[in-house]
Structure formats: structure tokens, C-alpha cells
């Protein structure tokens, strides 16, 4: 295991921000810490990178890996150009190849705005440069704290696919925080956090399987008869429709097959991360 956290806990006065969180991060994995605002994601990340001292529990790395960190707020200089910013950062490390900034700018698609001042870039361009900055020392683990918050959907997707590509091609270990449920879908390890506690962990598919129910909506000329024939209790009933929350698609198929003559139309919707989140926390994503 590249990184392990045991019973990681942080309190601020009376407030328990992170509450006995256990984490296991394997080399080359992509972990998303998913949770709403104030869940304790940044505090957890800050303890993992050694910026915050845990109140209890511990963080163990299996060797001394190089860390790259993309913070929520940028640490770059608005007045300097992208090129200057990255060059200054590269100069702070030993053993960085002379062409590192050029190579990174090509890999991350920065070439068209390298001579532009950082302060004049769009949100998505800034994020790319922030990521380039974090990659200068060729880290073993890249931490990103909400790298896509505030970006439009296309830019979010672009940043996300960039990070995934880096993980795959460079065998980088990636740990990021997000409050976007759809983003967690593509991580191979999702840790759902709320009120400082881990509520669920696994792949997005596992979490959805375990916590999100599928939804079957049936349209029928005789709703009363249909609901009398189906063993499952409906979650919603209208004059011509019945909605069921079902544990598996097989249950939906069984209902459809057994009651064909009473069904004029149907819609099946597999459980989403939203459904899982609602089931886990009892609330919609804040
Ligand atoms: N230095 C601090 N002093 C006091 N309380 C803090 C401090 N840092 C964080 N907290 C509190 O701890 C809780 C968790 O905060 P944290 O920033 O870790 O959440 P988060 O999940 O990263 O949220 P966001 O998505 O808004 O960044 C919040 O209630 C926050 O107010």
C-alpha cells in the first residue's frame, strides 16, 4: 500500500471535522473523496499531505514518495506569465530536466497561452497551469483539492479527462476531492464522506449497486389492478402510472414479464450516484 491513513481525526475546538477516517491508497490508483461542502475533504487531504497535524490517528507512506498538490486556491503569481510562473517553480527543485516546462506545456495543452499573464487566464486554463505546476517535480502522488469546482461542464470534463490520462499514461497515483457526483463515476476508488465520516467506499458501480435502487415507472390503463398484482410496494402512484424502487434490474424484468397485459408503457432508470448519495446521507447533494 502506497499510503495508509488509520483513524485519521481532526477537531477544531468542539467541532469534529474528520472523524476516524481509514484510507488505503494503492500505487497507480485513482481515488475520489466525494462529499458535500464542509464534509471534511480538504481537512483530510491536508492531513494526508502533512500540512495539518491530525488530532488522532496516523498517516503512513510506504516510502518517501514525491507529492504534487493542486490546492483549491492557486499558489501562482497573477502578474507573471505562465512560462515565468512554471520556470520559477522548476527552479525551486533540483534534478528537474531543462525541458520539463516545455514538455509539460505540450502534454497539458498550455502552448497557446504560455506567454500570457496567469491573472488573465480563464478558469479552465488556470487549472491546467496549476496542474502543470504540481507535476513539475514528477510526483508519485498527485493530490487535487476540488480541481473542477466553479468550472463549466465542458471544462470540467476536459480537466477530468486530463487527470485520467496522466494517471493511465504516467502510472500516477491520483487522489482528488470533489462534490460532483458524476465525476466520482470514473474513479476506481470512491470514498463518500459526510460530517467527517466515511459513509461508503468502493468503485462507483459498487456504491450504486449497494445503495442506489433502480427505478421502474409503469404506465397502465388499470393502475389499481396492476398494483394489486405486484408484490413490491410502489413508491409513487398516480392515475395512470406506478413507480417502483427496485433492488435489481432482474426484479424489474420479472414485473414487466408477469404483467405485460396491464402495461401500456414503461421506463427503467438504473440507480445513479445521486440516488446512492441520497440513500447514504438522507439528503440531496448540498
Ligand atoms: N482551520 C479551521 N478552523 C475551524 N474549523 C475548520 C477549519 N478548517 C476546516 N474547518 C471546519 O471543518 C469542516 C470541514 O471542512 P473542510 O474544508 O475539510 O470541508 P470540505 O469537505 O473540504 O468542504 P468544501 O467542499 O467546502 O471545501 C467544516 O465545518 C469547516 O468549517
Q: Domain of 33: which CATH number? A: 3.40.50.300
Q: Decide: 33 in ligand 1 pocket, CB within 6 A.
A: no
For residue 204, give Cα distances in angstroms to 36, 156, 197: 16, 18, 18
Q: Does one domain contain both 153 and 82?
A: yes
In terms of Cα–Cα distance, which of 38, 51, 52, 49 is closest to 9? 52
Prediction pTM value: 0.85
**Closest C-alpha to ligand 1, atom 29:** 38
Q: Does one domain contain both 173 and 117?
A: yes
Q: Does one domain contain both 172 and 225?
A: no
Residue from 11, 15, 146 whose mutation best tests the ligand 1 pocket (most atoms within 8 A of CB): 15
Residue 165 within any structural domain of the chain: yes
Q: Decide: 39 in ligand 1 pocket, CB within 6 A.
A: yes
What is the domain extent for residue 176? 3-208
Q: Decide: 42 in ligand 1 pocket, CB within 6 A.
A: yes
What is the number of domains present in the chain? Answer: 2
Q: Kindly give the number of the ligand 1 atom that is closest to the alpha carbon of 39.
A: 21
Query: Taking a C-beta distance cutoff of 8 angstroms, is the pair 177, 33 a contact?
Result: yes
Q: Quote ipTM for the complex.
A: 0.95
Strands 141-145 and 67-70: parallel
Residue from 35, 43, 146 whose mutation best tests the ligand 1 pocket (most atoms within 8 A of CB): 43
Per-residue pLDDT of the chain (286 residues; tens, 9 = 90+): 899 999 999 999 999 999 999 999 999 999 999 988 889 999 999 999 999 999 999 999 998 889 999 998 888 999 999 999 999 999 998 888 889 999 999 988 899 999 999 999 999 899 999 999 999 999 999 999 998 888 888 888 888 888 888 888 888 999 999 888 877 877 889 999 999 999 999 998 899 888 888 999 999 999 999 999 999 999 999 999 999 999 888 999 999 999 999 999 999 999 888 888 888 887 666 5
Residue 164 within any structural domain of the chain: yes
Residue 278 within any structural domain of the chain: no
Amino acid at each position: 500500500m502506497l499510503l495508509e491513513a488509520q483513524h485519521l481525526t481532526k477537531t477544531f475546538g468542539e467541532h469534529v471535522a474528520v472523524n476516524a477516517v481509514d484510507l488505503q491508497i494503492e500505487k497507480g490508483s485513482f481515488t475520489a473523496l466525494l462529499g458535500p461542502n464542509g464534509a471534511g475533504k480538504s481537512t483530510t487531504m491536508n492531513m494526508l499531505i502533512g500540512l495539518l497535524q491530525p488530532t488522532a490517528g496516523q498517516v503512513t507512506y510506504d516510502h518517501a514518495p514525491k507529492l504534487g498538490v493542486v490546492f483549491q486556491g492557486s499558489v501562482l503569481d497573477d502578474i507573471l506569465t505562465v512560462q515565468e510562473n512554471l520556470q520559477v517553480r522548476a527552479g525551486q527543485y533540483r534534478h528537474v530536466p531543462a525541458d520539463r516546462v516545455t514538455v509539460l506545456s505540450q502534454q497539458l495543452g498550455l502552448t497557446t497561452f504560455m506567454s500570457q499573464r496567469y491573472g488573465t487566464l480563464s478558469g479552465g486554463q488556470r487549472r491546467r497551469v496549476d496542474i502543470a505546476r504540481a507535476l513539475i517535480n514528477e510526483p508519485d502522488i498527485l493530490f487535487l483539492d476540488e480541481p473542477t469546482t466553479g468550472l463549466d461542464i465542458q471544462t470540467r470534463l476536459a480537466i477530468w479527462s486530463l487527470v485520467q490520462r496522466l494517471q493511465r499514461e504516467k502510472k500516477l497515483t491520483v487522489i482528488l476531492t470533489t462534490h460532483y457526483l458524476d465525476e466520482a463515476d470514473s474513479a476506481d476508488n470512491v470514498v463518500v464522506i459526510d460530517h467527517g465520516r466515511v459513509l461508503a467506499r468502493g468503485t462507483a458501480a459498487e456504491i450504486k449497486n449497494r445503495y442506489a435502487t433502480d427505478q421502474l415507472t409503469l404506465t397502465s390503463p388499470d393502475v389499481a389492478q396492476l398494483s394489486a398484482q405486484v408484490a413490491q410496494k410502489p413508491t409513487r402512484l398516480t392515475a395512470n402510472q406506478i413507480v417502483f424502487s427496485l433492488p435489481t434490474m432482474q426484479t424489474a424484468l420479472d414485473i414487466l414479464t408477469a404483467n405485460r397485459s396491464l402495461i401500456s408503457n414503461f421506463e427503467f432508470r438504473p440507480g445513479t450516484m445521486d440516488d446512492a448519495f441520497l440513500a447514504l446521507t438522507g439528503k440531496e447533494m448540498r
